[in-house]
Amino acid sequence: MKASTKRRLKRAGIEVTALGMGTAPLGGLYTPVSLGDARGAMQAAWDAGIRYFDTAPMYGLTRCEHLTGELLREEDPSSFAVSTKVGRLMSFDRPGRILPPAPPKNEFDSGWNNGLSFREVFDYSYDAILRSYDDSRQRTGLSKLDILFVHDIGRVTHGALHEHHWSALTKGGGFRALEELRAAGLIAGFGLGVNENQAILDAMEETDLDVCLLAGRYTMLDGSATEELLPKALEREVALVVGGVFNSGILASSSGRKKFNYVDAPAEIIEKADALRAVCEGFGVPLPAAAIQFPMRHPATANVVIGVKSAEQLRQNVEWFEQPIPDALWTTLEDKGLISAV
């Protein structure tokens, strides 16, 4: 499959390319990214035919929304699709202003080396969702935002505060705000952008979702979405955008840093990654090529989004995504119990 192949999101009624670009690394995830490299990576994605871009206020504490707008705002709005996220408002400290206590650091938050001078404030209420939409429109300068994802709602992220934030989203009108934006034609659709399967399953019982971004839970190392979430998404026609296909890098790296879910990989994960790599090498397929294509095997997957730090990395990801892979590789991995069957 080509990276530029168009895939239709049935409920949202828009098209995205099979490979999309996630912008989180451009905010300085793990290491700083220069402005030149960030702009180069974005332009390389466009030049490769990628026409779906995902961003968020959190990424680089607004840096990545600015970068996304810079790339896209002069292009024909009908030629691309863009998603951003709601659930965090960006604020700053100043004399006399009283902000809520900084949220506790959750296991999925690695911090930003190129973050701008803002501070995130979690708020999933009706007014906050509408404000977040307006803020993102102004930061990007775009005439449209196609998809809004409720960002990082879930028990792993929020711990003891989960019920408070979930109540703001449900009883507090957060979902209602998204429904109104969709009904007014201001967005094509909405869903969740999370690392937690259960959050999407719970949200499906609260509102009609169109598309969700699931990061790190449907990969060659983590098939936890397979049993319940993927079948239910397919049944409800909720398209899945799959991110985190390299599980923070371990499936893309043959040596050096071995991150898994944003932290150093434990021994058992390194062992499984090595076993996957050995089978792939037996078929002459790089492990990252198998990892980036793996989610596309399931019919619930609409597309895959990848994050890069440079134009070179972007072009390498496109090459991996488009590399032919024999069906026998997947069968062998299934037979060895290394991946789940579709």
Q: What are the residue numbers of the active site?
A: 54, 59, 85
Closest CA to 71 of 131, 140, 125, 138: 140
3-class SS at 206? coil
> DSSP of 275-311, one letter per residue?
HHHHHHHHTT--HHHHHHHGGGGSTTEEEEEEE-SSH
End-to-end Cα distance, the chain: 18
Residues 221 and 223: their CA atoms lie apart, in Å, by: 7
111 in the Ramachandran plot: left (φ > 0), alpha (ψ -120 to 50) or beta? left
Q: And the tokens for 308?
A: 């890069």
Residues 20 and 313: their CA atoms lie apart, in Å, by: 14
- 263 to 69, 212, 277: CA distances (angstroms): 30, 24, 20
Residues paired with residue 90 on neighbouring β-strands, in sequence order: 120
Closest CA to 30 of 292, 291, 281, 307: 307
CB burial class (10 A; 0-12, 13-18, 19+) of residue 198? Answer: middle
Q: What is the largest CA-CA distance in the chain?
A: 65
Residues 148 and 86: their CA atoms lie apart, in Å, by: 7
